[in-house]
Amino acid sequence: MSKAIEGYGIIYLFCMFVLILFGMLGYSVYYKPISDASAFVTDIIEVHEGLTDDAQTLINQLDQDMTKATIQINPQAIGDYKSYQVKVITSLHLPILNVDIPLTSSKSTKRCLY
């Protein structure tokens, strides 16, 4: 009887380890590109001193390249200047558990003219 319980425990721990390992690997694989994209968008906005036409075309190209993620840019007024809150949102689907995990990376720019 104790061997059966021990075998069941080993199988249970192995399955949980495999599920956690796949979940963490998927999370890290999905999070890195959206984190890089949000940092890239904040760099574009800071270099162009705000959300100008040139910056908007570069951001639109990036948005078209990233098919599974969406980019949201929210301006915040700071006196005569603006700061931009950039969010890149996607969701990770774990087929083993049939669960969707929302992933969000957000960065803020320094103050910009426009």
Contacts of residue 58, defined as CB under 8 A and 6 or more positions apart, other chains included, come to 44
In a domain, 92, yes or no: yes
In a domain, 46, yes or no: yes
In a domain, 36, yes or no: yes
Tally of residues, the chain:
114
Structural domain total, the chain:
1
Q: What is the spatial distance between Cα 75 and Cα 43, in angstroms, rounded to a whole number? A: 15
Span 44-85, pLDDT tens digits = 998 888 888 998 999 999 988 888 889 999 988 888 888 899
List, in sequence order, every residue forming a beta bridge with 45; answer none if it has no partner: none
Q: What is the spatial distance between Cα 90 and Cα 29, in angstroms, rounded to a whole number? A: 12
In a domain, 42, yes or no: yes
In a domain, 113, yes or no: no
In a domain, 72, yes or no: yes
Burial (Cβ within 10 Å: 0-12, 13-18, ≥19) of residue 21 = exposed
In a domain, 44, yes or no: yes
Give me the domain span that covers residue 17: 2-108
Whole-number pLDDT of residue 42 = 92
Mean of pLDDT values over 90-110: 84
Is the pLDDT reported for residue 114 higher than 60? Answer: no
In a domain, 74, yes or no: yes
Q: Are 86 and 107 in contact, with CB atoms under 8 Å apart?
A: yes
Query: What is the helix (H) or strand (E) element at residue 65, kind and residue range?
Result: helix 53-65
